[in-house]
Amino acid sequence: MLSMIVKMSGITILYIILTLVVWNFTNKLVLNRFQKILIGVVFGISSIISTHFGVEYEGMIINVRDIGPLAAGLFFSPTAGVVAGLIGGIERYIAGTYFGVGSYTRIACSVSTCLAGFVAMAMKIKMFNRKMLTPFYALFMGAVMEVFHMYVVFITHRNDMRMAFLVVSTCAVPMIIFTAIGMCVCSILLQVFSGEWVNPFQKIEEDNEPLSRKFQKWLFLIMSIVIIGSFIFSYILQTQTANQYCKSLLTRNFDTISSNYELHETNLDADSNIVYGIITKDRVVLKGKNIGATLDNDEYTNLIGNLGSIEEGPFFGVNSLFYAQSIDNNKILAVTMPKSEVYWYRDAQAYEFALADILLFTAIYVLIAYLVNRIVVNNIQLINTSLSKITNGNLNETVTVRNSLEFASLSDDINQTVVALKGYINAAEKRIEQELILARTIQTSALPQIFNFSDRDEFELFASMNPAKQVGGDFYDFFFVDRNKIAFVIADVSGKGIPAALFMMRSKTAIRSFAEAGGTPEEILIKTNEALCEGNDAEMFVTV
């Protein structure tokens, strides 16, 4: 056992190292077709090597060959997984058929390895959307593929269930465990090196947990309870059936042997799986499988203490079910059946049912999770995307998720809400516009509008305020302090900027002369300003 664990651990570590090396060379590349095929060839060759350098365990050869196509398909490219699976699976069939390498399981091994590549491709594309799978799913995928591997051993050897059961009971546990652990460790290390590692045991707040993850968690829990409950019920039923069959077989053989003994028949042979003995008070076997042997005292005492009933106990060191009765004053007849014979069919059925239940569980779980993601989660994400655009101000966005009654109703409700919101916004804009017009009118009426002075003809005065929007925060005014002094007032009422009013006072003579020279009002204003700078007869007061 220890030697097997060490060797299997070493082979699994080599697979992990190979995965990390290939990832190191390819993680920054956009893989082309040739590179994908090359990766598939590399992992296919690793599966071939695993076939020919398997670990011997209790007369069987075990390996982790299925890691090759699974790792290639799930961690790198679906194409690589298919290529690796075909290479490893076809070579396994050829080796088993023509070179005698594990010929008994060649069909099961080759089918499972080929299928591993196609399963990896389907899961990578449909279930994981070409993203890196989590350690949990990597562990799950590795275990399930080996479960399928063992199940195919059963269904391809229906006419030799004893041998198939021996193979599965010997190989199943180590191959499932090491394949699952190998895939899980690969996933953990790739996530760590790529910076995507998230502690799976970290508590997630309820409002931050994705709907798909919560659904899958509860689905896994409920289905596990159902599958385990079904297996336990089936196991108990099979046990009771085996016990009843054994009791019937023991009593029937006892009656046959005792009758033949009373008739002094020399042939007292029982069924092939029945061991019997006619034993004297001295514990010596007169007839039966162990003629001339002496039964252990404790075993004999157990037989004597349970005469007339079917009980469990050792018989010549073999744990068995037995039925014993006195056939005369000096002898007893004990008819036994080894427990390994009593329950082998139950155990074989238990293994087969357990493997079938796991595969059924996986198929249902993956199908339901996929449908929930496709029908519910993806549509919710589409609706959230549209809602995000709407909340960012794009009121022309329309929600068009209509693949079910509920989503169609939700889309209609959101669209109707947006239409109503646009109506409210338009009404509010019109109301604000009317209020701004009124405010502008009030503000304009508060500012001086008459710039001509009937009693003064030596100058002209002009004033203007042009707000950036409909209403400004500035104010201006002017008035005479006395006959020869005029005051100008410019104020920034809002306090958010520089006053944006302009006063201009200029002499009529200068303006007239510039106007006669021609030009636009802006050019005349510039010339007036230049005249002021040169000391000519013009004055201008400007503030901005």
Q: Whole-angstrom Cα distance, residue 43 to residue 96? A: 20
pLDDT for 372 beyond 60:
yes
pTM of the model as a whole: 0.72
Decide if 504 is inside a domain: yes
Domain boundary among 330, 345, 360: 345
483's tokens: 């006959």
pLDDT for 538 beyond 50:
no
Find out whether 57 and 174 touch, Cβ atoms under 8 Å: yes
Decide if 423 is inside a domain: no
Domain boundary among 324, 345, 366: 345
Q: Are 40 and 136 found together in one domain?
A: yes
pLDDT in tens, 187-200: 999 999 888 887 77
Q: Are 154 and 106 found together in one domain?
A: yes
Highest mean pLDDT among 81-95, 388-402, 484-498: 81-95
Decide if 192 is inside a domain: yes
β-sheet bridge partners, residue 320: 313, 338
Decide if 363 is inside a domain: no
Q: Whole-angstrom Cα distance, residue 487 to residue 227? A: 96
Q: Are 270 and 129 found together in one domain?
A: no
Domain membership of residue 472 as a residue range: 447-533
pLDDT in tens, 321-332: 999 998 887 889
Find out whether 250 and 322 touch, Cβ atoms under 8 Å: yes
pLDDT in tens, 141-163: 999 999 999 999 999 998 888 89
Q: Which of 363-367, 413-417, 442-446, 457-461 has the lowest mean pLDDT?
A: 457-461
Q: Are 132 and 74 found together in one domain?
A: yes
Q: Whole-angstrom Cα distance, residue 306 to residue 323? A: 8
Find out whether 188 and 197 touch, Cβ atoms under 8 Å: yes
Q: Is the Cα torsion angle 517, 523, 524, 528 positive or negative in sign?
A: negative
List the CATH number of the domain containing 319.
3.30.450.20
Q: Are 86 and 177 found together in one domain?
A: yes
Decide if 76 is inside a domain: yes
Q: Are 168 and 259 found together in one domain?
A: no
pLDDT for 427 beyond 70:
yes
The conformation of residue 129, written as its DSSP 8-state character, comes to: T
Q: Are 80 and 189 found together in one domain?
A: yes
pLDDT for 411 beyond 70:
yes
Decide if 390 is inside a domain: no
The pLDDT of 488-494, averaged and rounded, is 72
pLDDT for 399 beyond 60:
yes
pLDDT for 24 beyond 80:
yes
Domain boundary among 172, 202, 232: 202
**Following DSSP, what letter does each residue of 182-228 receive, concatenated?**
HHHHHHHHHHHHHT----TTS---GGGS-HHHHHHHHHHHHHHHHHH
The conformation of residue 103, written as its DSSP 8-state character, comes to: G
Decide if 211 is inside a domain: no
The pLDDT of 275-293, averaged and rounded, is 87
pLDDT in tens, 56-108: 998 889 999 999 999 999 999 999 999 999 999 999 999 999 988 888 999 99
Number of domains in the chain: 3
Q: Are 15 and 107 found together in one domain?
A: yes
When comparing pLDDT for 380 and 528, which is higher?
380
List the CATH number of the domain containing 170.
1.10.1760
Cβ neighbours, 10 Å, residue 28: 6
Q: Are 90 and 15 found together in one domain?
A: yes
Q: Are 159 and 291 found together in one domain?
A: no
Decide if 295 is inside a domain: yes
In the chain, pLDDT over 70 holds for what percent of residues?
A: 87
Of 241, 469, 214, the residue nearest 342 (C-alpha): 241
Q: Whole-angstrom Cα distance, residue 276 to residue 337? A: 8
463's tokens: 């004033």
Backbone angles phi, psi at 402, to 5 degrees: -140, 30
Q: Are 190 and 278 found together in one domain?
A: no
* Residue 522 pLDDT: 56
Mean pLDDT of all residues belonging to the chain: 84
* Residue 393 pLDDT: 84
Find out whether 168 and 351 touch, Cβ atoms under 8 Å: yes
Q: Are 247 and 335 found together in one domain?
A: yes
Find out whether 442 and 430 touch, Cβ atoms under 8 Å: no
